[in-house]
Amino acid sequence: MKHCVVCENSQREADSYHEFIFDGVLMGSVSQRRPKTKTHSVEVPIEKAYLVALEGWSESESGMPVEHSLRELGRLVRTAGGTVVGRATQRRPKPHPAHYIGKGKIEEIVESRSILDYTMVVFDDELSPTQQLNLEKAFGVKVLDRSALILDIFAQRARTKEASLQVELAQHEYLKPRLRGQWQHLSRTVGGPGSGNTAIGTRGPGETQLETDRRLIDRRISRLRKAIASVRKHRMLQRERRLREGIPVVALVGYTNAGKSSLLKSLAGAEVFTADAPFATLDPLTRRLEVRGHGGILLTDTVGFMQKLPPQLVSAFQTTLEELSTASLLVHVIDAESHVFETQISIVNDTLTSLALTEIPMLTVVNKADLLFEKSEYESLARDNTDVLMLNAELDKLGLNLISSNENNELIYVSATERWGINQLRNRLLYEFFGSNYTNTDQA
């Protein structure tokens, strides 16, 4: 009996040690982020990325033209801290099951390495574990897909405990089926009769390192889910308190980098982190719009949507996205600068449908409107935005109207940075919840 206790204790110590080593291998395979230490700073060379996408297949899956999808992928690479040195596309009806792309395209990319000196190849779609392993063997460099790249950015941007927990859970769930090959340098079997292992307290049924890793990652996933469940309960209590107080909640939703955080800053007059980059906001950020004689309106900014988001990430951020479920009104922020705004609108609407949020009333706001009007004579209309019907008619004449009035009966054009149309939007929100007797002078 005593021997069994020793065995169990030794196994726990071994697991703890392996979990420590496992973390380094695990996190290094997706994200290069490391905890800050007091060591001397060493300049890390910028990684050079070669981008790859499939024409036809990618467009049919997401609706995004491959040229714009690659441009978006390049922006993700730069946000993660890399630079793009080349890219290639191949027209295929569907990905090659073993290599994603054909043999000829692989050879072409391999030959270009001597000229471009790329250090990683990034694919625009999620790769299977087999595809990723085969491609790394073929290219001789690190291979990432869009999912891994987005997870890396989320790991970089996570500022709070809640965000860190959700990102780590998504990373573990993404990496679990990709464990094979992570421990090739330590390919071995621990324990087992006849294995030659003579360490006291470690003899017993054999276990491969891969099995150990899977057990460790399952344990970590279980712990993370429990921690997130605790956060979820806390957020639920906060939502219930807001409901009891009767304060209306307006949630800003939209494609990433549409300017939701800038709009929140302009509306509420509060300091909010903003950046011209994807996924600048991960955690729900709530600010109060003060209204004299009332409790005000709570404005909530949430993580932006994007095509081909890793399903592990959507699942892990369920706690964050649940903040939208109690909103009294959704404000869909559209990027006027985007050349693929229609596809982005469709992606946002599909995401809201998958989250069962289509029953919540929605107001559509076109942000960055100054970029539409700067070369026209209708800047005063954009600034004042006093007559939406007149504005839409003038936009139609100029060929600048993003959305037909038949598709959306109410559309407000704003510029969060130039503060065009902000008063119009604020008054519209006040009217929504407190009636027509509220104007600018009624605000606290």
Q: With beta carbons less than 8 A apart as the criterion, state whether 301 and 260 touch.
A: yes
Q: What is the pTM of this model?
A: 0.74
**How is the chain split among helix, strand and coil, in percent rounded to 5?**
50, 15, 35
Structure tokens that stand for 344 in this block: 């982005």
Residue 435 in domain:
yes
Residue 8 in domain:
no
- Same-domain check for residues 76 and 162: no
Residue 60 in domain:
yes
CATH code at position 376: 3.40.50.300
Highest mean pLDDT among 12-26, 36-50, 81-95: 81-95
Residue 123 in domain:
yes
Would the pLDDT of 269 be above 70?
yes
Residue 11 in domain:
no
- Same-domain check for residues 394 and 261: yes
- Same-domain check for residues 319 and 389: yes
Residue 238 in domain:
no
Residue 37 in domain:
no
The dihedral over CA atoms of 429, 431, 435, 436, expressed in degrees to the nearest 10, equals 160
- Same-domain check for residues 415 and 312: yes
Q: What span, in angstroms and rounded, lies between the C-alpha atoms of 98 and 121?
A: 16
- Same-domain check for residues 64 and 169: no
- Same-domain check for residues 345 and 410: yes
Domain span at residue 188? 158-195+204-225
> What average pLDDT does the chain have?
75
CATH code at position 65: 3.40.50.11060
- Same-domain check for residues 328 and 341: yes
Instruction: Using alpha carbons, select from 276, 315, 266, 217 the residue that is nearest to residue 414.
Output: 266
Q: What span, in angstroms and rounded, lies between the C-alpha atoms of 39 and 25?
A: 20
- Same-domain check for residues 346 and 438: yes
Structure tokens that stand for 291 in this block: 């209204």
Residue 89 in domain:
yes
Would the pLDDT of 53 be above 90?
yes
Strand partners, 420: 415
pLDDT digits (tens, 9 = 90+) for 399-416: 555 555 444 456 788 888
DSSP class per residue in 181-232: TTTGGG--EES-TTS----TT--SS-EEHHHHHHHHHHHHHHHHHHHHHHHH
Q: How confident is the model at residue 134 (pLDDT cuts 50, 70, 90)?
A: very high
pLDDT at residue number 37: 43
- Same-domain check for residues 268 and 376: yes
- Same-domain check for residues 146 and 165: no
Give me the number of domains the chain comprises.
3
Q: With beta carbons less than 8 A apart as the criterion, state whether 135 and 143 touch.
A: yes
